[in-house]
Structure 1
């Protein structure tokens, strides 16, 4: 396949003759029969392995940096790219030519990209990193072949129309099976062998199928987690409407038939707050509604089932930053 991407390591490192010139970096994975280059500048080191076939271009980049470094990337053709972050101390970040963030990809995650021709930059964190990727032509997914791959439809449409905007898939987990496929692919590469084409394409198809499976699994789990979080919000609001401050969040465990820690985790994951914070917000909202209806602060305290007006006044001040009286004065026209 024609080279479509150039990683401009020469902008930050010097090319050296062999791996013997490197002091600390050793590749965790070897692409058999690949074209390999070695790079070094000071204590920073990198190894780039590349292998091209008729329809797929493979690459593996190992880096060891003492601080975050930026590698310029040039894309020449309209292709679809896949990147697996196999090792990294922090997220790998990709930027467009204007410096706008395209993606953040954590260690152990994969992602598909449609990148139109142009200049990009890849920010790699300090420490040891390993990126494995490949790019391919969209004709792989002509006609019926693309139906099972819903997560790629936007990228394929962008490639077909040669859209001048970047399109990315959602990210997915790089698990043990993904590792096994990648290692099998790297071990089995054979330059200029006819059978190599079918071997490479077979494993690439397996990797794409596995990506579809992982994304589907995570979307299903995400939908379930979100559903539980939304139900928890609605149930807690109903309890507070009925029982006021006597409402305890442990009621949700019985309502949802789940342990409270799980419900709390799901809610914080999707809404950024724990259930105790949600209870405070809902209780404050109900108190404000009562005050807006003309209920006095004293009667509002009893309406929300506080043992004393003073306890309500203390809650309102802590939750809103003002007294109930100040709230009424501010809300007057």
Structure 2
């Protein structure tokens, strides 16, 4: 996918720094791979990370300023963006080239913004800001795939029609769960790697689903528990993808307002199994794919975090009724 969202930071933050000059500057949300540019001008600094995927483009900005700034933005082609304000010293505002407001965001909030080609501005008060921006091939919503995403339909239609008018969605919370999703995505970013390209679209899809649940919950079109249990399911999948058997389910209650007993009860009511059972089943489904690709049993067991090969054998047999060597 082509890069279309350009924050023109040079005028305010100066020329890009060399590696030696950037010592002491660190991105708050590091990408595993990708392009990174450091800029600094006295007490103002900017760290920009970019990763180009086949079906999605990711950007992350760490911005620090000691006074009010008005950052010029250039959009080279119409696109639909998801913009997350993960940390902030105050609210931010997007305006058009005539400084007419388009959208605002507060700390730990996010929203979808359709922007046609043109020039815009990002207004910041003095302080520190962490901005995560992603955009994707909206073709994934073609052929009726947008039916369950009514809040996105006006923006998708504006994109399809190449509308000359910016359009925004309702804003929604970007809390600890959203941060887990985004950090998991950033750890998967790897150039020239098929698995990474698949991971990008999978994680973007889950981020979009998560945003729908948050908007529905804030509009009270679904119950809080219903949305939360679906989030739990995805968090387990992300945890297994990252840590395998070592993923600790107790971490779920650290980011969700539910105790372990209630979480287990609600999850079982909706999915017919406990979170522990789902974790193990998801783990074995992942193992099946790895085995079918030609990996050895001992390699799969090791990659999935089993301390002993025999523990993997027992779990595989208990869930599938077969040996992993069959």
Q: TM-score, normalised by structure 2?
A: 0.66
- Which of structure 1's runs of 4+ aligned residues deviate more than 6 A? none
Deviations 1:270-322 (A, max 9, x none): xxxxxxxxxxxxxxxxxxxxxxxxxxxxxxxxxxxxxxxxxxxxxxxxxxxxx
Deviation at 1:145, TM superposition (A): 1.3
Does the 8 A contact of 2:17 with 2:40 survive in 1?
A: no
Deviations 1:233-280 (A, max 9, x none): xxxxxxxxxxxxxxxxxxxxxxxxxxxxxxxxxxxxxxxxxxxxxxxx
3-state SS of the aligned residue for 1:39?
A: strand
Deviation at 1:23, TM superposition (A): 7.1
Does the 8 A contact of 1:25 with 1:46 survive in 2?
A: no
Deviations 1:159-188 (A, max 9, x none): 111110000000000122111010001111
Partner of 1:86: 86
Return closer, same or farther for 1:108/1:221 CA change in 2, 3 Å cut-off: farther
Partner of 1:44: 44
3-state SS of the aligned residue for 1:132?
A: strand
Partner of 2:16: 16
3-state SS of the aligned residue for 2:58?
A: strand
Partner of 2:136: 136
Deviation at 1:2, TM superposition (A): 1.1
Partners of 2:18 and 2:199 in 1: how far apart?
29
Return closer, same or farther for 1:66/1:152 CA change in 2, 3 Å cut-off: same
Partners of 2:189 and 2:210 in 1: how far apart?
20
Partners of 1:62 and 1:105 in 2: how far apart?
16
Partner of 2:149: 149
Partners of 1:137 and 1:164 in 2: how far apart?
19
Partner of 2:32: 32
Partners of 1:100 and 1:153 in 2: how far apart?
24
3-state SS of the aligned residue for 2:49?
A: strand
Pairwise CA RMSD: 2.0
3-state SS of the aligned residue for 2:98?
A: coil
Deviation at 1:71, TM superposition (A): 1.2
Does the 8 A contact of 2:50 with 2:59 survive in 1?
A: yes
Return closer, same or farther for 1:37/1:200 CA change in 2, 3 Å cut-off: same
Larger mean CA deviation between 135-144 and 147-156 belongs to 135-144
Task: Kindly report which structure 2 residues correspond to 1:114-263, keeping only aligned pairs within 5 A, or say none.
Answer: 114-220=114-220
Partner of 2:269: none
Does the 8 A contact of 2:90 with 2:127 survive in 1?
A: no
Partner of 2:105: 105
Deviation at 1:216, TM superposition (A): 0.3
Partners of 1:150 and 1:221 in 2: how far apart?
12
What are the ranges of 5 or more consecutive residues in structure 1 without an aligned counterpart?
Answer: 223-333
Partner of 1:66: 66
Partners of 1:151 and 1:138 in 2: how far apart?
14
Matched, 1:3 2:3: yes
Does the 8 A contact of 1:94 with 1:120 survive in 2?
A: yes
**Which has a greater percent of helix?**
1
What are the ranges of 5 or more consecutive residues in structure 2 without an aligned counterpart?
Answer: 223-326
Q: TM-score, normalised by structure 1?
A: 0.64
